[in-house]
Amino acid sequence: MSRDASQPVTGVAGVPSRRHGHRAVAAVLAGPALVLIVLFLIGPLACVALLSLTDYQLGAATLNYVGGKNYAEMFSDRVFQKSLTNTLLYVAITVPGSVLLGLGAALLIEADRGLRTFYRAIYFLPVMATLIAMSIVWEFMLHPQFGIVNQLVKALGLSRIDWLQNQSVVLFTLCGIGIWQSLGFNMVLFMAGLTSIPKDLYEAAAVDGANSAIDRFRLVTWPMLGPVTLFVVVITAIRSFQVFDTVQVLTKGGPNKASEVLLYTMYSEGFEFFRSGYASAVTVVFLVFVLALSALKVFVLDKRVHYA
């Protein structure tokens, strides 16, 4: 018996056409986002990469292709080498310090639920405050003569320290400010992770003999915080690579380049010496580190983390 030709096509024969229709709708819906990504993300990154291969200076009417000359000059430049070393040292100190202190603060606040809201607001205050404004406050607090920090040092019977002009301590001072600024943000993330841990796991661990707080943390809390910890470490590392505000306000890379970091080198080369091509090369190196951290998280560390 033949089927009426006027009836619509159904079944397996209609699946490809429906799939093409869904793909067309998806492409239309994703189109505006893709256009914005190209215009405001991929496009500027491509321009920076191309500009790093030229001798362009800000305001110049022409530019010349120089290939890898900027990169060769950059890696032989002692200022860049110092800047890169300072940035890596800053990240190496700030990341573990802010992550561990953020985790400790989250555990303490969760243990004392009576004043949890108060402590959470106090620790999160540096995140809400404008870092440039807080840097000015830190500048007064660290003043060698009348700053409150040196007043406390003097009260302890120790000699005053010029925290921002002493080459041996200035970078560590900036690291301390960075840890202070990142601690509250990390604390909130860890608190969110702690509240998502099922209470049944602690009860099961207690049945198995894990009665002490250390055992509960080692057997339940720490493994279940794996995804949150990974996210916090990567985000904190990326934010640490982006340190600029405190350097600009407090030290301007000094004394004698002791606090020079990558973003400040990029800023000074691009907007003080107007060497846009060279500054673009520094930017490319900075982006390589950030992309490497992101790739490490996605392709390596994610596979070693337990997701509930």
pLDDT category at 1 given cuts 50, 70, 90 is: very low
Provide the mean pLDDT of the chain: 87
What crossing angle do the helices spanning 116-128 and 78-111 adopt, rounded to 10°?
160
DSSP 54: B
For 232, the token pair is 């916090």
The domain limits of the chain are 16-51, 77-304
Query: What pLDDT score was predicted for residue 88?
Result: 96
DSSP 275: -
| Structural domain 77-304, CATH architecture | Orthogonal Bundle (1.10)
Query: What pLDDT score was predicted for residue 4?
Result: 53
pLDDT at 197 over 70: yes
Chain centroid to CA 20: 40
Q: What is the pLDDT of residues 73-105, one digit of tens each?
A: 999 999 999 999 999 999 999 999 999 999 999
Distances (CA, A) of 46 to 231, 265, 295: 27, 21, 19
Query: What pLDDT score was predicted for residue 244?
Result: 94
Query: What pLDDT score was predicted for residue 307?
Result: 55
Spell out the residues 6+ positions from residue 266 whose beta carbon is closer than 8 angstroms to its own.
279, 282, 283, 286
Q: Which residue has the higher pLDDT, 122 or 2?
A: 122
* Residue whose structure tokens are 């860890």: 190
CB 67 within 8 A of CB 51: no
Radius of gyration of the chain (CA): 27
Query: What pLDDT score was predicted for residue 61?
Result: 84
CB 257 within 8 A of CB 83: yes
pLDDT category at 208 given cuts 50, 70, 90 is: confident
Query: What pLDDT score was predicted for residue 142?
Result: 93
d(CA 292, CA 91): 14
DSSP lists the bridge partners of residue 54 as 65
Prediction pTM value: 0.86
d(CA 294, CA 306): 18
Nearest-CA neighbor of 89 among 143, 161, 170, 180? Answer: 170
DSSP lists the bridge partners of residue 65 as 54
Q: What is the pLDDT of residues 142-165, one digit of tens each?
A: 988 889 999 999 898 888 899 999
pLDDT at 259 over 50: yes
Nearest-CA neighbor of 260 among 244, 276, 284? Answer: 244
The 3-state DSSP class for residue 104 equals: helix
Q: What is the pLDDT of residues 16-58, one digit of tens each?
A: 667 777 788 888 888 899 999 889 889 999 999 999 999 999 8
